[in-house]
Amino acid sequence: MPAMEQGTDKNHGRHRARQTWLRRPGISRIKHALRCLSVLPGLLLAHPSTGLAATLPDDLTNMGLEALMNIEVTSVAKKPQKKSEAAAAVFVITNKDLRRWGVTNIPDALRRVPGLQVARIDANKWAITSRGFNSRFANKLLVLIDGRTVYTPLFAGVYWDANLVMLEDVEQIEIIRGPGGTLWGANAVNGVINIITKSAGNTQGTLVSAAAGNELERLVNVRHGGTTGSGSHYRVYAISRADDSGFADPGAHDDADIAQAGFRTDWSKGDTDSHTLQGDYYRGTAGQELLIAPSAPATITDDADTEGGNLLYRWTHRSGNRSDLTLQAYVDYVSRESAVLYEDRYTLDLELQHHFTWNDRHDVVWGLNYRSIDDDTKSTQIFSLAPADRRVDLVTGFIQDEISLFSEHAKLTLGTKLEHNDFTGFEVQPNIRLAWLTDSGNTVWGAVSRAVRTPARGEHDVSLTVLPPPSPPGLPPLTINGNSGYDTEKLVAWEIGLRRALADSVTLDATAFYNRYDKLRTIEITSMPPGPFTAVFDNNMEGNTQGLEIDVHWQARPWLSVNANYTRLEIDLDLVNGSMDTTSLSAEHASPEHQANLWIAADLDNDIHLDAALRYVDSLQNPGFTKTGDYLAFDARIAWMAAPGIELSLVGQNLFDSHHPEFNPDFIISTPTEVERSIHGTVVWTFR
Amino acid sequence: MTASLHPPAKRARLSALAVLLVWFLSCPAVATAEEVITEYQVKAAFLYNFSHFVSWPASPENTFRLCVIGENPFGQILDALIGKPVNNSILVVEQHSSLEKIHDCQLVYISYSLKPRLNMILAELADHPILTVSDIESFTDAGGMIELWLSDNKVRFEINTSAAEHAGLSISSKLLSLATRVKKGQ
Ordered domains of chain B (ranges, CATH): 39-183 (3.40.50)
Candidates A32, A73, A606, partner chain B, best to mutate (most B CBs within 10 A): A73
Residues 179-218 of A with CB under 8 A from B: 199, 201-202
3-state secondary structure of A670: strand
- The residues, any chain, with a CB within 8 Å of residue A389's CB and separated by 6 or more, are A374, A375, A376, A377
Q: Looking at residue B82, what is its pLDDT? A: 87
Q: Looking at residue A235, what is its pLDDT? A: 96
B26·A74 Cβ contact <8 A: no
A73·B73 Cβ contact <8 A: no
CA-CA distance, A106 to A110, in Å (whole number)?
6
Dmax over Cα atoms in chain B, in whole Å?
93
- The residues, any chain, with a CB within 8 Å of residue A655's CB and separated by 6 or more, are A633, A634, A635, A636, A677
Partners of A554 in the β-ladder? A506, A562
Residue B136 in this model has a pLDDT that exceeds 50: yes
CA dist A230 to A233, A397, B153, B155, Å?
Answer: 8, 36, 14, 16
* Residues of chain B found within 8 Å of residue A270, distances taken between Cβ atoms: none
Q: At what angle do helices B2-26 and A29-38 cross, to 10 degrees?
A: 110
A612: exposed, middle or buried (Cβ count in 10 Å: 0-12, 13-18, 19+) = middle
Decide: A543 and A560 in contact? Cβ < 8 Å.
Answer: no
- Side-chain half-sphere exposure of A338, counting CA atoms within 13 A: 22
B153·A199 Cβ contact <8 A: yes
Residue among B140, B112, B115, B122 at smallest CA distance from A410: B115
Q: How many beta-carbon pairs under 8 angstroms link A with B?
A: 227
B152·A407 Cβ contact <8 A: no
Backbone angles phi, psi at A143, to 5 degrees: -120, 130
Q: Looking at residue A571, what is its pLDDT? A: 95
Residue B18 distance to chain A (closest CA, Å): 13
Residue B4 in this model has a pLDDT that exceeds 60: no
Q: pLDDT tens across A153-162, in order?
A: 888 889 999 9
Backbone angles phi, psi at B113, to 5 degrees: -65, -15
How many other β-carbons are positioned within 10 Å of the β-carbon of residue A642? 12
Q: Strand ranges (DSSP E) for A381-423?
A: 383-385, 389-405, 410-421
Residue A101 corresponds to which amino acid? W
Task: Name the residue facing B48 among A36, A61, A74 (closest C-beta).
Answer: A61
- The residues, any chain, with a CB within 8 Å of residue A471's CB and separated by 6 or more, are none
Whether A224 and chain B come into contact, CB under 8 Å, resolves to: no
A407·B117 Cβ contact <8 A: yes
Whether B3 and chain A come into contact, CB under 8 Å, resolves to: no
Task: Name the residue facing A69 among B37, B74, B154 (closest C-beta).
Answer: B154
Backbone angles phi, psi at A125, to 5 degrees: -130, 135
* Residues of chain B found within 8 Å of residue A51, distances taken between Cβ atoms: 28
Partners of A493 in the β-ladder? A449, A515
Residue A274 corresponds to which amino acid? S
Q: Looking at residue B29, what is its pLDDT? A: 33
Whether B177 and chain A come into contact, CB under 8 Å, resolves to: no
A36·B113 Cβ contact <8 A: no
Q: How confident is the model at residue B12 (pLDDT cuts 50, 70, 90)?
A: low
Q: Is-cis flag, bond preceding A250, omega within 30? A: yes
Task: Name the residue facing B44 among A56, A80, A606 (closest C-beta).
Answer: A56
Q: Is-cis flag, bond preceding A644, omega within 30? A: no
Strand A205-213 to A216-227 pairing: antiparallel
Residue B30 distance to chain A (closest CA, Å): 5
Whether B110 and chain A come into contact, CB under 8 Å, resolves to: no
Task: Name the residue facing B42 among A73, A80, A558 (closest C-beta).
Answer: A73
Q: What is the DSSP letter of A78?
A: S
Residue B4 distance to chain A (closest CA, Å): 31
Q: Looking at residue A9, what is its pLDDT? A: 35
- The residues, any chain, with a CB within 8 Å of residue B15's CB and separated by 6 or more, are none
Q: Looking at residue A23, what is its pLDDT? A: 26
* Residues of chain A found within 8 Å of residue B158, distances taken between Cβ atoms: 320-321
- The residues, any chain, with a CB within 8 Å of residue A622's CB and separated by 6 or more, are A134, A586, A589, A590, A628, A663, A664, A666
B152·A274 Cβ contact <8 A: yes
Residues 549-568 of A with CB under 8 A from B: 557-560
Q: pLDDT tens across A359-394, in order?
A: 778 888 899 999 999 999 999 888 899 999 999 999
Q: pTM for this structure?
A: 0.74
Residue A226 corresponds to which amino acid? G
Residue B6 distance to chain A (closest CA, Å): 27
* Residues of chain A found within 8 Å of residue B73, distances taken between Cβ atoms: 16, 20, 80
Q: Looking at residue A324, what is its pLDDT? A: 85
Which residues of chain A are modeled with pLDDT < 70? Answer: 1-55, 72-85, 180-182, 184-186, 270-271, 320-321, 469-471, 625
Residue A495 distance to chain B (closest CA, Å): 23
Q: What DSSP line would sit under B107-166, residue for residue?
A: EEEE-GGGGGGHHHHHHHHTTS--EEEE-STTTTTTT-SEEEEEETTEEEEEEEHHHHHH
Q: pLDDT tens across B113-134, in order?
A: 888 888 888 988 888 899 999 9
Residue B138 distance to chain A (closest CA, Å): 7
Q: CA of A202: which chain B residue's CA is closest?
A: B153
Task: Name the residue facing A271 among B26, B42, B156 (closest C-beta).
Answer: B156
* Residues of chain A found within 8 Å of residue B42, distances taken between Cβ atoms: 60, 68, 71, 73
The proportion of chain B whose per-residue pLDDT surpasses 70, expressed as a percent, equals: 79
Decide: B148 and B135 in contact? Cβ < 8 Å.
Answer: yes
Whether A67 and chain B come into contact, CB under 8 Å, resolves to: no
Whether A471 and chain B come into contact, CB under 8 Å, resolves to: no
How many other β-carbons are positioned within 10 Å of the β-carbon of residue A539? 23
Residues 619-678 of A with CB under 8 A from B: 641, 644, 647
Q: CA of B28: which chain A residue's CA is closest?
A: A559
Task: Name the residue facing A74 among B37, B120, B142 (closest C-beta).
Answer: B37
Residues 42-61 of B with CB under 8 A from A: 42, 44-46, 48-49, 53
Whether A30 and chain B come into contact, CB under 8 Å, resolves to: no
Residues 81-100 of A with CB under 8 A from B: 81
* Residues of chain A found within 8 Å of residue B25, distances taken between Cβ atoms: 43-44, 557, 560
Whether A503 and chain B come into contact, CB under 8 Å, resolves to: no
* Residues of chain B found within 8 Å of residue A25, distances taken between Cβ atoms: 33
Residue A104 distance to chain B (closest CA, Å): 21
Residue A624 distance to chain B (closest CA, Å): 45
Whether A317 and chain B come into contact, CB under 8 Å, resolves to: no
A408·B118 Cβ contact <8 A: yes
Residue B97 in this model has a pLDDT that exceeds 50: yes
CA-CA distance, A408 to A432, in Å (whole number)?
17
Whether B98 and chain A come into contact, CB under 8 Å, resolves to: no
Decide: A165 and A310 in contact? Cβ < 8 Å.
Answer: no
**Hey, what CATH class is A2-687 in?**
mainly beta
Task: Name the residue facing B75 among A25, A54, A606 (closest C-beta).
Answer: A54
* Residues of chain B found within 8 Å of residue A21, distances taken between Cβ atoms: 30, 75
Decide: A568 and A131 in contact? Cβ < 8 Å.
Answer: no
